[in-house]
Structure 1
Amino acid sequence: MDDSWLELVTGGDLLVRSAARWPDNDALVYPEQRVTYSRLLLGARRAARALLGLEIRPGERVGILMPNCLDFMETYLGCHLIGAVPVTINARYKPRELAHVAADAELVTVLTTDLIAEYAPFVELLAAAFAHDRPASLRNLVMLGASKPAGYVDRAGWNALADTVRDADVESMRRSVRLRDLAVIMYTSGTTSHPRGCPMTHEALVRTALAVGKRFQLTASERFWNPLPLFHMGGLLPTTANLLNGGTVVSAVHFDPDTALKMLVSEKVTFAYPTFPTITQSLIHHPDFRSADLSRIRGLLDTAPPDVLRQVQEAFPAAKVIASYGLTEAGGVICYSELDDDLDRRTGTSGRPFEGMRVRIVDPETETECAPGQVGEIRVTGPGMFEGYLNDPVTTAERTDPLGYFRTGDLGCADADGRITYTGRLKDMLKVGGENVAAAEIEAHLARHPAVKIAQVVSAPDVRLVEVAAAFIELVPGATVTAGELIAHCAGSMASFKVPRHIRFVQEWPMSTTKIQKVRLREAIAQELESSAPQPS
C-alpha cells in the first residue's frame, strides 16, 4: 500500500517555500544571467508590487509576450503572488492571432520586451494587432526592456510603480489565492481556427509538476537544461517541477546549437529536455558534439520513433533516453517512460500515466474500449486537466466523451501494464486508394536511412488514389541521397501503397511553437502539384 500524500501549494506559495528552503541555489541560468531562489523571490515580489501599482486585481488577466528570460518568470510568478492570471502568449504569433488572444482572454495588461531573438519586434506586432480594434479591457502596455516606446510604461515607470506598494500588501494577497484559482491560460495553436485558450488551475499545474518531479527523480542538485519556450507547456511545466524541488533550470532566450552545447558542458547539466528532433539532432550533428563532456547527463527526453530514440541513446550513452506523451489540455504531459525501465520500454512506450490521471483507449468508430496493444483514440481525464476551452463550451462538450474523458484526437495503445504508446493523429492517417496508412510508420522507416536527419510525411492529392504519401526530408549535414534512393529504401520494406510518391528536401521547417506544421507542408505539396498539372486545352 502506498501511504504517500501530496502537498499542494499555489504558484506563489511554491516560490516562497522554495526560497526559504534553498535560498542560495541557482534557480534560473541564462547565458548572460543567473539568479538564486532568494533573488527570484525578490524579483517576483517587485513585479507583484508593480502590477498592483497598475491597479491589477485578483482574477484579472495579464498577457506575457516574451521569449525565455528572467522578466518572463518574475512577472509570471508576480501574477501568482497577487492572484492575477498570467496569459502566456506565443511569441511567434502574427498580429491577427495576437488580437484574438487579447480580446478572447480580456487582457487588462500586456507585458513585453525588446529582446527580439528570432522573433519579430513585439512593439511592431502589438501595434499591428491593435491598429483597428484595441480590446476595451486592455488598460496598459508595459515595456520591460531598454527602449521607451510611446504609449508604454517603461522600465523606470514599472520600477516606480513598484515603489508605491508595500511587500506586506503582496503577502496579504498571496494568502488569499486558492488552489482552484486559475494559475495560467495558455493558448493552443489551431490549424483551421483561432487558437483556443486552455485555463489551468494552481492545483492542476502543481499536481502535474509534482508528478514530473517524481517521475524524473528531481532533487535540489539538478541542473536541468530546457530550451523550450516558457509560453509553451513544454517550457513552463518542467520549470515548475524544478522550482518545486530546488533544482536549477538552464535555458536561453532562443535555441542556438553552439550556445546550447557550451551550456550543457559549462553548467554541468544533469538532465536534458530537448524534446523535439529538430533540437536533438542539431546537437548530435554539431561539429563539437563528440568532444563535449556530456557524461553528467543522466536523463534526456526526445520525441521520435523508437529506432531514432535508440540512435539518440547511442549518442548519449551516459543518459537514460525517455519518451513522453501529453497535450496542453491535460497539463502538458500525462506520462513519461520511466528512468528505471529497460531500453525497449523507454524508447518504445511513453510509460504509465501519472498517478491520478486516467486513460482509456477507445475505438473511435464503435466507441468500445480497446484491448491491450490495440490502437484506438487516447482519451484522458484526471486532476491535471484544464478547465475547458475559454469561452468555448461547444468545443469543450464536443471533445468530452459520455464518461467525461477528453477526446485527444491522438491514436495510440496501452500495453498490459498500462504503458502508453502514441502512434499518430487521427487526422494524420492517409487514405491511399482505400487503404489506411499511418504517416508515423513511413516516417519511422525513412528515419532509419543514415542520410536522413528528420522525415515528415503528409498526404498529397492524387487523381487515381485520391491521396498518396509525400515525404519532406532534412538531410544529415554533409550527407547526400536522391529521392529515388529513398523511395527504393521504402519499397523493399513496406506495402507499395505506403511508399511515398513524392520526396521533397528541405533545410528549414515551418514551425508552430515547437512542432513542425504539417498543415503547411500539406498545403505546399498540394499547391506545387496543382501548378504543375497539365492545364485543359
Structure 2
Amino acid sequence: MTLSYAHGTGDTALLGDTIGANLARTAATWPDREALVDVPAGRRWTYAEFAADVGRLACALLASGVAKGDRVGVWAVNRAEWVLVQYATARVGAVMVNVNPAYRTHEVEYVLRQAGVSLLFASIEHKGSDYRAMVDEVRPSVPELRRTVYFGDPSWEEFAALGAEVPTEELNSREAELSCDDPINIQYTSGTTGFPKGATLSHHNILNNGYFVGELVAYTEQDRICVPVPFYHCFGMVMGNLAATSHGACIVIPAPSFEPRATLEAVQRERCTSLYGVPTMFIAELNLPGFAEYDLSTLRTGIMAGSPCPVEVMKRVVAEMHMAEVSICYGMTETSPVSLQTRVDDDLEHRTGTVGRVLPHLEVKVTDPATGITLPRGEAGELCTRGYSVMLGYWEEPEKTAEAIDTGRWMHTGDLAVMREDGYVEIVGRIKDMIIRGGENIYPREIEEFLYAHPKIRDVQVVGVPHERYGEEVLACVIPLDAADPLTLDELRAFCRDRLAHYKIPSRLQLLDAFPMTVSGKVRKIELRRTHGS
C-alpha cells in the first residue's frame, strides 16, 4: 500500500533573496529587455527603466516616513502603478496589503483597520465604483490611515516626486536591514462567513513560489506573459509578476480588469508567449465573436487555475490558442499560492483530470479529515501541504492560524482530494461543497465534468440544496449555449440516465445568464445555493 504523500524534489535550489535583491539581479542581467507593458495606457518599461522607477518610488516611501513593517494598502484594478508599488514596498520592507477592488465601504473599512494601513494607494474609479468617495466615507473610522494616493491623479505625481529628497544610500541602508523571511504581503482571503482573514506572506514565500511556477513552464527572458487576472490576487502578483521578473520575462497588462477582447488583442499585438486565466476567462475568449481572426500563434504556454478545466475547453485552448504547453495550477492564498502543477509535457487527461503533482521543495498529503491519518493512494480525503510556501499566519489572528496550520506545520486546505498512484492529485470538491444526499457522498466536480459534454450547455455548476427527505438534493445551474433553445430538466435527466448513478442525477435545474463570481474569477457557489436553494 502506497500512502497519499509526496515530496517535490528538484535540482534547482530555493532562492534566498529578498524581492528587491532578485529584481536588481534581473535588471543587471537584462537591462534592455522589456519588463512591463501597460497596453491600455500605452506605456512600457525596460528592466533598467522599471528598476529605476521602483527605486524612485521606494525612496518616496522612505521620504513619507514608511518604516520597515508598516502596512501600505493597494486598492486598485490592474495598471502599471500597481506593479511599481508591489516592488517598491518590498524594497523598503513595508508590508503591502492587497485590497480587493470589488470591496465596498463595509469591507474596506474592516481591512484597513485590521491591517493597520497607514498609507493607501487606490484607483480613482472603475466601472462605476468611486474609490475616492468610499475612502472619504471610511476615513473617520480608520485613524491610522494618514495618507491616500490615487493612481492617475496629481497626488500620484506629487508622491513619486518625494523620491528626489532621499539619497540612494538611504534606500540601500534600509535594504541591508531586510531578511527574506520578513512579512512583505497581506492578502485577504474571501471568507464565506464573517470577515476575511489576512494571510501574511514573506519574501521567501512568494518569490520562490513565483520562481518555481515559472520554472515549470520553462520561462526565460524571451517570454511575454499576458496577465488579465487581478494583481490583488496571488494569481496576478505572484504567478504573473514575480514569475516574470525572476526570469527576465515581460509582464503585459491587457486591461484594468478582465475583458476577453482586450486580452486577445494584447496577445496579438504584444506577441505574447503565455496567457493566464481561470477556465471561465478562457471560455469567454473562445466564445468571443471573431475569435478565429486573432493571431495567437506566438502563444506556447500559460496557466489555468482557480477551478477545474473542462476537457473540451482544454482541447480548444491547446488546438485553437496554440497553448500546447499550458499548465494547470492548484493552490490557495495561504500557500503563496501554488502547491501542485501539471508539467508542460503532461497529456490531456492529466491536465483536465488532475491539478498536477507537487512542486519542488514542497510536500503534500491526503488525510482522513476526522483522524488526520494519511490515507492510501486512491482514497478521498483532505489535502494538506507543507514547506516554504506556507504563510507566516493570519495577520493578528493566532487562533485562526492554529485552526489552519497544525503543529506539524501542515496547512489544511479544506479541499477534498485523491492522490493517484503516479502522484498526481485530483480535486474532487470542497469539504463544505460536498453534497450528502440520503447518506451518499456526491462530488459536484464529477457531475459538472459529465454535463459539460451536453450539446446545449455552455457552462455548468452543481450545488447541493436542502431537501426535506434526503437532506440535500442536486441542483444544476446551467448557462445554455443558445438562449433561444434552452435546456429542459427532462432533457438533462435523460442525458444522465444510465450514465450516472441515480442519486447523482440533478433533480433541479436553474438556467442562468451568468454565474456570480469573485473578482478573481471563481464561481461563488455559496451564492448559487443561497439564491436558488429554496
Whichever residue aligns with residue 371 of structure 1, its letter is P
Which residue is 2:442 aligned to?
437
User: Is residue 377–residue 419 contact of structure 2 (8 Å, CA) maintained in 1?
Assistant: yes
Whichever residue aligns with residue 65 of structure 2, its letter is E
Within 5 Å, which residues of 2 pair with 1:7-26? 7-26=15-34
Matched, 1:506 2:512: yes
How high is the TM-score relative to the length of structure 2?
Answer: 0.92
Which residue is 1:138 aligned to?
145
Structure 2 spans left out of the alignment, 5+ residues: 1-8
Partners of 1:523 and 1:478 in 2: how far apart? 24
Which residue is 2:127 aligned to?
118
Distance 1:383 1:119, change over 3 A: farther
1:259 to 247, 257, 262: 262
Distance 1:318 1:301, change over 3 A: closer
Partners of 1:513 and 1:258 in 2: how far apart? 18
User: Is residue 366–residue 382 contact of structure 2 (8 Å, CA) maintained in 1?
Assistant: yes
Stretch of structure 1 that moved more, 473-482 or 403-412: 473-482
User: Is residue 300–residue 322 contact of structure 2 (8 Å, CA) maintained in 1?
Assistant: no
Partners of 2:426 and 2:406 in 1: how far apart? 21
Partners of 1:520 and 1:2 in 2: how far apart? 41
Cα deviation for residue 477 of structure 1 reads 5.7
3-state SS of 1:453 partner: strand
Matched, 1:235 2:239: no
Report Cα offsets for 1:285-306 as digits up to 9, x if no partner. Answer: 1122223222221113334245
Partners of 1:401 and 1:160 in 2: how far apart? 46
Stretch of structure 1 that moved more, 283-292 or 215-224: 283-292
Report Cα offsets for 1:44-68 as digits up to 9, x if no partner. Answer: 1221122122111111110011111
Which residue is 2:386 aligned to?
381
Quick one: higher RCO (CA 8 Å, sep 6+), 1 or 2?
A: 2
Within 5 Å, which residues of 2 pair with 1:3-402? 4-31=12-39, 32-114=42-124, 116-118=125-127, 120-130=129-139, 133-134=141-142, 136-146=143-153, 154-238=155-239, 239-251=241-253, 252-274=255-277, 276-302=278-304, 303-305=307-309, 307-308=311-312, 309-317=314-322, 319-402=324-407
3-state SS of 2:436 partner: strand
Distance 1:2 1:520, change over 3 A: closer
Report Cα offsets for 1:1-20 as digits up to 9, x if no partner. Answer: 96543342111112222111
How high is the TM-score relative to the length of structure 1?
Answer: 0.92
Partners of 1:478 and 1:24 in 2: how far apart? 51
User: Is residue 117–residue 144 contact of structure 2 (8 Å, CA) maintained in 1?
Assistant: yes
Cα deviation for residue 381 of structure 1 reads 0.7
Whichever residue aligns with residue 81 of structure 1, its letter is R
User: Is residue 117–residue 254 contact of structure 1 (8 Å, CA) maintained in 2?
Assistant: no
Partners of 2:322 and 2:49 in 1: how far apart? 36
3-state SS of 1:385 partner: coil
Aligned Cα root-mean-square deviation (Å): 1.9
Partners of 2:281 and 2:21 in 1: how far apart? 33
3-state SS of 2:214 partner: helix
Whichever residue aligns with residue 517 of structure 1, its letter is R
User: Is residue 217–residue 325 contact of structure 2 (8 Å, CA) maintained in 1?
Assistant: no
Stretch of structure 1 that moved more, 72-81 or 458-467: 458-467
User: Percentage identity across aligned positions?
Assistant: 30
Distance 1:496 1:331, change over 3 A: same
Partners of 2:399 and 2:128 in 1: how far apart? 34
Partners of 2:275 and 2:151 in 1: how far apart? 29
Report Cα offsets for 1:95-136 as digits up to 9, x if no partner. Answer: 11111111111111111122x3336121122233335x22x3
User: Is residue 11–residue 81 contact of structure 1 (8 Å, CA) maintained in 2?
Assistant: yes
User: Is residue 67–residue 92 contact of structure 2 (8 Å, CA) maintained in 1?
Assistant: yes
User: Is residue 479–residue 511 contact of structure 2 (8 Å, CA) maintained in 1?
Assistant: yes
Partners of 1:105 and 1:120 in 2: how far apart? 23
Cα deviation for residue 155 of structure 1 reads 2.8
